[in-house]
Amino acid sequence: MRAMVLTRCGPVENAPLSLEQRPVPPPGAGEVRVRVQACGVCRTDLHTVEGELEAVRLPIVPGHQVVGRVDAVGPGVTLVAKGDRVGIAWLRGVCGSCGFCRSGRENLCESAQFTGLHVDGGYAEYAVVPESFAYRVPAVFGDQEATPLLCAGIIGYRALKLSAVRPGERLGLYGFGGSAHIAIQVARHWGCEVYVFTREASHRALARELGAAWVGGATDAPPVKLHGAILFAPAGEIVPPALQALERGGTLALAGIHMSAVPALDYTRDLFGERSVRSVTANTREDAKELLKVAAEIPIRPRVEPFRLEEANRALQALKAGRIKGAGVLVMQE
């Protein structure tokens, strides 16, 4: 099979991924093999490739927003059958026995494994996943448009919940890439007024198209106070102005897996009035199932820009430069 492989972390401008021919992986016990049709290009992939996330294993095939068909099953598989269309997300294994797992917080499991970090992911023609971490993709979505739902969508949805914003309230979104352009569609479905903070002209245009009540720069003050906000951009310097934009009692959810240093906060200016900050860590399987159900009901319409598998370096470069309107997707060619 063809796969884009990372052997050494480095700036995406240097094209660190290389196209290789690899054996098709066999599924083990309890696992299924997926013939990949499309794989979303996520900012987490960018952090992995450039080494901002610790390289747990090299060489590695990145990619964790995978959509394809099951073409082989391992011993003991009962939940998924050959021919099923499924998605593979970031979380792909937990211990199942720690306090976090037992209390419904498996995203915090210290033994968690992640697709494209601990095991090879979807920048390839085939990928393997435990059957309990393979999600059925609603028929309303095509292969390409379903891919960003599997991380950008799930994380945006979890961040929405952790921001504690309620239907009809005012929500701020800082950064407007793959995750935010899905989160705004859920928030608008809830009747929220959405205020978007982003520097890219194309992202501002998309935010307005998707129903933003106001669009401004990354550190601009909105015209009204916000009941909740989500910071998608990996920029810690935005945390203080985002907190200052909150109404008393508001919550800022930090949705990135990596972020630059957060400046010192002034207690009176930034936090007093029961403003709070929550980080978002991975996702649970329940988050994924909830998001896919809600997405199909709305239905969410992800905007995607396709790239060929061998263009993975170029796709990551475009993501880093903010040139993708919506979400980038690697498409496998027959």
* Residue 91: predicted pLDDT: 97
d(CA 33, CA 72): 5
113-137 pLDDT per residue, tens = 999 999 999 999 999 999 999 999 9
Domain match, 17 and 144 both: yes
Domain match, 190 and 298 both: no
69 pairs with which residues across the strands? 35, 85
Domain match, 42 and 133 both: yes
Q: Mean pLDDT, the chain, as a whole number?
A: 97
In this structure, the dihedral spanned by the alpha carbons of residues 12, 67, 286 and 190, taken in order and rounded to 10 degrees, is 80
Mean pLDDT of 178-202: 96
Residue 334 binned pLDDT confidence (cut-offs 50, 70, 90): low
49-105 pLDDT per residue, tens = 999 999 999 999 999 999 999 999 999 999 999 999 999 999 999 999 999 999 999
Residue 333 binned pLDDT confidence (cut-offs 50, 70, 90): confident
**What CATH number does residue 264 fall under?**
3.40.50.720
d(CA 159, CA 255): 6
Mean pLDDT of 16-24: 98
Domain match, 225 and 270 both: yes
Domain match, 246 and 294 both: no
Tell whether the model's pLDDT for residue 156 goes beyond 90.
yes
Helix (H) or strand (E) holding 305: strand 304-308
* Residue 93: predicted pLDDT: 97
Residue 266 binned pLDDT confidence (cut-offs 50, 70, 90): very high
Mean pLDDT of 215-240: 96
Domain match, 164 and 142 both: no
Domain match, 123 and 221 both: no
Count of domains forming the chain: 2
How much of the chain, in percent, has pLDDT values that exceed 90?
98
Q: What amino acid occupies position 198?
A: T
Least Cα distance to 292 among 139, 137, 170, 143 occurs for: 137
Q: Which domain holds residue 325?
A: 2-150+283-331
244-254 pLDDT per residue, tens = 999 999 999 99
